[in-house]
Structure 1
Amino acid sequence: MTPARAARKPRTKNKEKTLVEDVIAALEAGKPVRREFDGGRLHIDRPQPFLCVHVGDPERHVVAREVASANASYLLTTSIEDAVELIAPIAAVLRKTFGTFLLIDIDELERDRLLCDDAPFLQPFEVTLSATRGLAADRAVKAFEAAVKAFEARFRTPHIDLCAAQEDPCARPELLKLRLPLVTLRFAPIYRVTGSEETYPDLRERLIDNFLDAGLRAVAAFLEADGFPKPVTYRAFGRKAFIDAVERADRGMDDVASSFDFLLCVTPINASAAWQEFKANRYDKPPRFLYRPLSLLVEREKRRLYAISLDRLEDPVLHQIYREKQQELDLQLTLIGHREKARFVEFGRALYGPVEPSLLNAAQAVLDGAGEARRVPALKPDDDEVVDCFFVEHRARTMMSDYQRRHDGFDAAIELRDDVPPGLLVSGPRLLISRRTRMMRHRVDALLSHEVGVHLLTYFNGSAQGLRVFRTGLAGYEGMQEGLAVFAEFLAGGFTPERLRLLAARVVGCNLMLAGASFVESFRFLTGRYDIDAETAFGLLLRVFRGGGLAKDAIYLRGLLSLLSHLKGGGALDPFWMGKISAADFGVMEELGARGLLKAPVLRPLCLETERGRARLERARAGLTPLAMLEA
């Protein structure tokens, strides 16, 4: 929900009266408020028992202004008189609604007094805090102080002066006269480059994040001391509405992301012919890969990408999400622009990371433990049947129908394609099935649980969240997404020794490629050292060497290991079904959910509804290695 807006116009006494009346009427009705007026803004995304205020020139104390405006309830004005005129009636109606109310006044000190040019190290920076008398206000300011002391400052640590508001020279007399519980914050402008108008962007964002967090902790402590019901988390007092700037950025980012399919752009279209050529050359000459013509102009898409403004999102968490997504899309476009060029592999390393030693060791342990891995029950005779793309398509339609009965927004499409390698691939809301697909029947439902039950499910769950970035995927989501998808194969009962060996061999193949081995050298190593059959090794290395060398396929085993560790540690799965997210986003999703910005997933994988699936999930929670999954 986006709060209502009013155009910015010069104010008169009558207009001031109308503004106050409109605001009070909205608050009494429990509605959100967003009003722009001359030099200021009032934003309350839902009635809450607190208000953050910043008074000052919009061009000067910009971080204080941004700290205030990062909250769900704030007032920005250029004059204290305007502030008082609005605060008094707002406080009255909110106090009547909640039985309590806290005002937080946020501003900056005029200069960074503790910094000296000749100091041998960076000194602490000045922070002053004060509060009016009373138990609840005292608890609030002490919670604020504790949070500020815990700042993870990379360069400078805070030096805090704490006093009573009546003794604080920074406390505004006009606000004290309102006789409201008040916390006053002032901090040194350490984000400014001394002697210039330049700023330190990273430090600026760090200050905004930290002071916002400290303020929410203070609000929670104040309300708890006043007997207010305790929320699940203090971050629940944060924003619960997307403003128009967020929705514009989201649409713009999605438009760029939808203008290309990264994997299709870098995946060969002549897989079958390349295999026949490689085999005819007795595996001695590297295959020649052909790619589809590019339908996008990389430079134009980058211009569109960086034309998206992230300056006015007001929510630091969402700002971080979109900034990271912007950087990821930039890197994907850079890779597409360098397809089949020497630097492609290094840009791919930047996107997917190296093969870390622990991952390589885990992969080698799987491959070396092949004898142990193969000690699994024999398959039923019917399961040995080889099926084609039409059988897979039929089973996919059946599974999609099951999901659509549970949620009519699950509007997926199936395409049989000649221009993708054998197997299955999800692109947005589409399941692409290669016409050359041949697989064992017992693997079909497991692979559909992977592609439909995870990749398509999280696309449509993400679509239901209100912001498209959750269906497109947060930056770095692919590792955990593939780990979940492989885990879904396990829950569905189709995780085989051959599948696990393939995932491990992909890691080894990526490591060989990143270390500089050629296609032929890597092929000889995999077939000789690990006895992988020639066609399987070729298909694996086609994926690894596509585009010029892409280390993406190491993420499957990495993601699975990360997920198994998460489950063993007692972690929940539901946030991962809300959309396409990474393991690093787990806390972010929990916070956005607690703030009411995200919905519970409308769908969960069907493999979790079976007795077998639930039993296997419980075994994973007790602790499993990839090899042990074969016997679970």
Structure 2
Amino acid sequence: MNDAKLRYCEHLRRFSDQLIHLQAPIKILDAIKWPRELEQQFFDAGARQLPQVDKAFYDNLPLPFDSLATQKALKSLKQDIQKTLGKDDALGKLLVANVDQYRLVIDMLGHRGTPQFGKLSKALYGSASNKLHGDRHTLRQLGDRLSYIFSLPAAAHMNKQHPKEIDAASAVEHLGSRLGRYFHSDEMRVRLSDGIVSDAAVGGDTVKINSKAMFSKADLNVYEVHEGWVHVGTTLNGRAQPHATWLSVGSPRVAAAQEGLAVLLEMLTLSSTPGRARRISDRVAAVDMAENGADFIEVYRYFRDQNLSKKDSYRVTQRVFRGGMVAGGSCFTKDISYVRGYVENVNFIRSAIASGIPELIPMLFLGKLAIEDIPTLYLAYREGILAGPRYLPPMFDDYSGLYAWFGFATGLGNINLKGVQRHFQRQFRIIPNVEPMFPSVEDTEFDAPAD
């Protein structure tokens, strides 16, 4: 590495470390989380009263950082990056994009419980009314189609095969053993937590398990690949970067790539279940309804009418109204990231294969990144500025099988499914009392997302 490139890498490392330091206390989910007792209060009131969450509620949850001082420091960092690396430097632009995101996040958190919170959330994460890249359909339309598929009678039957019989302590032991083997060169932890609302969550190199929850074997399979291989894995891969250490932390612009990749791993490893897939898909409908003015009770009742349990209906609704207004019109839109990101990851992989550059595929695990960053990051990797990902799931380490799988899937994509269904439905007539499990293509009026 010549002197000029060495100085460049030193600057990149300095700016990366500064960004990591400044963003450390900005914890979005901690700033908008609801206490667990609100759920029981909601049910005790017969699900007829809005949760007691408003602007005053959030004002009583002070942010663990000085907003004005942090904004000033981030602005100064942006100016320093552009002055030192140049406004047109490719990696500098990615750093600046993340700096700008954190400045928006601070603004959003300063408007918790107000209409402005929802507007800024859309600017950061997008909206359920957004269309998929290269396709005419919205995320809400795709979410509705998936929710329908994952709520068919066969799906309900399969969900019964996954009883929650594992206590939290045992879940920690089993998951810790599995992930300890996967992360062979780094220390990571799986621990019990009383401070999370969800059943599992990730913080840096730690997987947190809700101490009050029970789990199925399928749950642990999901957590291993979703929380472990993807979220912890990309954190550790980012930390292993010699210069671009900012790849170890994620601003909202990376949410879709991260969550979509995690869902994709659930599918590729056959870890997910229809119930899990439905919960992910239902989140898009919840966001869309809240964005369009539905209040907490209306969204909750919508899911109850869709035969979701009381607990699941509350949880999916609560996730969306965090930080926003329980009366509707302002909500936390991050939950569209799972479906949106899944489609974007699949189409990225298909496009990399079709374009003859499958070498881009493992770059998805380089760190916390947005998919559109990958060409720039790959070039930096080729120049020796970035290190390759230390931890890769087996199918991404040797991606020949992935190439074959997606190659077949792409090749079959143009087959007339309507005609195929008619062919097999004629054969199925000998089976008594069979109800159609899936709608025909003309009933769904929804084409596969385009590349």
Residue in 2 aligned with 1:340? 113
Structure 1 position 396 matched with structure 2 position 169: no
Q: Distance in 1 between matches of 2:152 and 2:350?
A: 23
Return the match for 2:363 from 540, 557, 575.
Answer: 575
- Output aligned runs, 1:535-546, within 5 Å: 535-546=311-322
Structure 1 position 276 matched with structure 2 position 276: no
Contact 1:421 1:436 in 2 (8 A): no
Which residue identity is paired with 1:413? R
Shift of 1:498: 1.0
Return the match for 1:448 from 212, 220, 224.
Answer: 224
Bigger mean CA deviation after superposition, 386-395 or 283-292: 283-292
Contact 1:261 1:427 in 2 (8 A): no
Q: Distance in 2 between matches of 1:516 and 1:425?
A: 29
Residues 266-295 of structure 1: CA distance to partner in whole angstroms, max 9, x if unpaired? Answer: 222x12x11111111111111235665432
Residues 20-78 of structure 1: CA distance to partner in whole angstroms, max 9, x if unpaired? Answer: xxxxxxxxxxx623xxxxxxxxx4x3xxxxxxxxxxxxxxxxxxxxxxxxxxxxxxxxx
Q: Distance in 1 between matches of 2:119 and 2:313?
A: 23
With over 3 angstroms needed to count, the CA separation of the structure-2 counterparts of 1:498 and 1:616, relative to structure 1, is farther
Residue in 2 aligned with 1:130? none
Contact 1:484 1:560 in 2 (8 A): yes
Structure 1 position 257 matched with structure 2 position 23: yes
Structure 1 position 457 matched with structure 2 position 233: yes
Residue in 1 aligned with 2:163? 384
With over 3 angstroms needed to count, the CA separation of the structure-2 counterparts of 1:517 and 1:483, relative to structure 1, is same
Residue in 1 aligned with 2:140? 360
Structure 1 position 501 matched with structure 2 position 278: yes
Return the match for 1:437 from 200, 213, 226.
Answer: 213
Between Structure 1 and Structure 2, whose CA radius of gyration is higher?
1
Contact 2:259 2:342 in 1 (8 A): yes
Contact 1:450 1:485 in 2 (8 A): yes
Return the match for 2:265 from 468, 481, 488.
Answer: 488
Structure 1 position 313 matched with structure 2 position 85: yes
Shift of 1:417: 1.9
Residues 458-480 of structure 1: CA distance to partner in whole angstroms, max 9, x if unpaired? Answer: 00011111222111136611101
Q: Distance in 1 between matches of 2:159 and 2:274?
A: 12
Residue in 2 aligned with 1:597? 385
Contact 1:324 1:475 in 2 (8 A): no
Shift of 1:525: 1.6
Residues 405-457 of structure 1: CA distance to partner in whole angstroms, max 9, x if unpaired? Answer: 2x2xx222334222210311112222222212222222212222100110000
With over 3 angstroms needed to count, the CA separation of the structure-2 counterparts of 1:616 and 1:524, relative to structure 1, is farther
Residue in 1 aligned with 2:422? none
Shift of 1:392: 2.0
Q: Distance in 1 between matches of 2:29 and 2:158?
A: 36
| RMSD of aligned Cα (Å) | 2.9
Q: Distance in 1 between matches of 2:224 and 2:46?
A: 35
Shift of 1:300: 1.6
Contact 1:388 1:439 in 2 (8 A): yes
Structure 1 position 322 matched with structure 2 position 95: yes
Residue in 1 aligned with 2:432? none
Residue in 1 aligned with 2:254? 477
Shift of 1:374: 3.0
Structure number with the higher strand fraction is 1
Which residue identity is paired with 1:396? L
Residues 323-374 of structure 1: CA distance to partner in whole angstroms, max 9, x if unpaired? Answer: 1011100011112222223321111111111112521111111122345583
Q: Distance in 2 between matches of 1:603 and 1:555?
A: 23
Residue in 2 aligned with 1:551? 333
Q: Distance in 2 between matches of 1:388 and 1:422?
A: 15
Structure 1 position 304 matched with structure 2 position 73: yes
Contact 1:395 1:445 in 2 (8 A): no
Shift of 1:375: 5.6
Residue in 2 aligned with 1:55? none
Q: Distance in 1 between matches of 2:147 and 2:160?
A: 25
Which residue identity is paired with 1:481? Q
- Output aligned runs, 1:21-420, within 5 Å: 32-33=2-3, 43=4, 45=5, 242-268=8-34, 270-271=35-36, 273-289=37-53, 293-308=62-77, 309-310=80-81, 311-314=83-86, 316-355=89-128, 356=130, 357-370=137-150, 374=154, 378=158, 383-405=162-184, 407=185, 410-420=186-196
Shift of 1:607: 7.1
Q: Distance in 1 between matches of 2:107 and 2:191?
A: 28
Shift of 1:376: 9.4
Q: Distance in 1 between matches of 2:291 and 2:13?
A: 39
The structure with higher relative contact order (CA 8 Å, sep 6+) is: 2
Return the match for 1:510 from 266, 273, 287.
Answer: 287
Structure number with the higher helix fraction is 2
Contact 1:446 1:490 in 2 (8 A): no
Q: Distance in 2 between matches of 1:474 and 1:585?
A: 13
Contact 1:252 1:305 in 2 (8 A): no
SS of the equivalent of 2:201 reads strand
SS of the equivalent of 1:599 reads coil
Residues 62-108 of structure 1: CA distance to partner in whole angstroms, max 9, x if unpaired? Answer: xxxxxxxxxxxxxxxxxxxxxxxxxxxxxxxxxxxxxxxxxxxxxxx
SS of the equivalent of 1:312 reads helix
Q: Distance in 2 between matches of 1:455 and 1:265?
A: 20
Q: Distance in 2 between matches of 1:277 and 1:534?
A: 13
Contact 1:474 1:582 in 2 (8 A): no
Contact 2:395 2:401 in 1 (8 A): no
Contact 2:38 2:51 in 1 (8 A): yes
With over 3 angstroms needed to count, the CA separation of the structure-2 counterparts of 1:280 and 1:616, relative to structure 1, is farther
Aligned residues: 385
Q: Distance in 2 between matches of 1:317 and 1:250?
A: 14
Bigger mean CA deviation after superposition, 410-419 or 252-261: 410-419
Residues 533-556 of structure 1: CA distance to partner in whole angstroms, max 9, x if unpaired? Answer: 221010011110001120000110
Q: Distance in 1 between matches of 2:402 and 2:389?
A: 21
Residue in 1 aligned with 2:343? 561
Residue in 1 aligned with 2:134? none
Contact 1:241 1:597 in 2 (8 A): no
Contact 2:247 2:367 in 1 (8 A): yes
Contact 1:462 1:470 in 2 (8 A): yes
Q: Distance in 1 between matches of 2:188 and 2:333?
A: 29
- Identical positions, percent: 20
